[in-house]
Amino acid sequence: MKFAIALFSAPHAPSSRRALRFAQAALAGGHEIVRLFFYQEGVHSASSNVVTPQDELDISGEWRDFVREQRLDGVVCIAAALRRGVLNAEESQRYDRPAANLDDPWALSGLGQLHEAAQVADRLVCFGGP
């Protein structure tokens, strides 16, 4: 089965960890993930500036490692990211900001990527949200 996964919640929220464990289990079960889409507060999971307390799981780091190791399509909604100060080098330069905090393996793109993933996948699974 092909899954598209959308994450709407911040990295410290329980739903972020559940989404990660679901994605790991899906791949371990022989399924495919066509795209991971980070939206709303979920964009913070892709920020390289998230610092996790020592007694907590570093879910942002786990997401980054998982996307890299599995060579997944990890897309961060550009509108949600800009609003929350999550910028890659190009956007940092474009908006004259002092630093970027989004790098590989993440890609900034629009909601059209979520729509496309939902069309290609057998199931769209969403975690978090209002």
73-115 pLDDT, tens per residue?
Answer: 999 999 999 999 999 999 999 999 999 999 999 999 999 999 9
H or E stretch covering 65: helix 59-70
pLDDT at 130 over 80: no
Q: What is the mean pLDDT of residues 32-53?
A: 96
Q: What is the mean pLDDT of residues 65-79?
A: 98
List, in order of start, the domains of the chain with CATH numbers. Answer: 2-127 (3.40.1260.10)
The reported pLDDT for the residue numbered 48 is: 94
How confident is the prediction for the chain on average, in pLDDT? 96
Catalytic residue, chosen from 13, 77, 124, 126, is: 77
CB 77 within 8 A of CB 50: no
Judge whether 77 counts as a catalytic residue.
Answer: yes
pLDDT at 50 over 70: yes
Closest to 119 in 3D by CA, of 25, 31, 2: 2
Q: What is the mean pLDDT of residues 21-28?
A: 98
CB 121 within 8 A of CB 3: yes
The reported pLDDT for the residue numbered 46 is: 97
The reported pLDDT for the residue numbered 129 is: 73
Q: What is the mean pLDDT of residues 56-69?
A: 96
pLDDT at 27 over 70: yes
The reported pLDDT for the residue numbered 124 is: 98
